[in-house]
Structure 1
Amino acid sequence: MRTKTSLSLLFVALFSLSLFAGETEKNPVQPFGPMPDEVKAIVDKSCIGCHNTDSRNEDAKKELDFKKLDTLSKVKMIGTYKEISETLEKNEMPPKKFLEKYPDKALSDTEKKVLLNWAKKETKALVKAK
């Protein structure tokens, strides 16, 4: 009898969690605001070529797809902005091998700072949002 009750409670709990998780994905949190023009220009110049839905670079678009950024759940969006910040701080993007072929895609220190400030601002805004 205890086993049946425990299993029933476990089933109800798992079912409730699955409903909640599905709801999060159906109703994504919108980013703090539209991407500022200055940020968009930098992303268009150095990032979107690989990090978009139509890219042939499967790994890059799997890692980050700027075209789908505003469809992510709040939790995933926060993680994505934090990942953008960490990647920029480590100077990992654009990759050195890519820059050998396309040196014009390199980010200046000012551009990195703009992207970092934007990602950090978005993260803070999402964390504060209820």
Structure 2
Amino acid sequence: MNPPTQITLSGIVNPRKQPFAGVGDVATHPGAGRTPYIDATIFDGKAWRALDLKGFGFGAGGRVFTSSSEIGPLMRQIAQKINSCKGLPVYYECPFGQDRRKYLFRGVPISTFPQHPY
């Protein structure tokens, strides 16, 4: 079965995949194979899928840790940012220059900013 093309972020972020997750719940965790960076996955209702953190402001360098004492604070920082985007969509696409599809956050829509009559 194909993943949904769009999911709404629930605002729930956990430090591991939860067995009874809801659609749009996110899990953050240190990367696989002892890599020194934080990864994220999102539950689409059927499976946990990769969630790209670049759209949340955590590109390749922004999610790296150099010691185990940095993991918790970095994961909390990422969780706070994802939580602040509660109710916004992520899209199942290939990031620019990559071959594997994952869920991408495109940012806050301009329509959510207050309009000033000038």
TM-score by length of 2: 0.25
Larger Rg: 1
Name the structure with the higher strand share: 2
TM-score by length of 1: 0.24
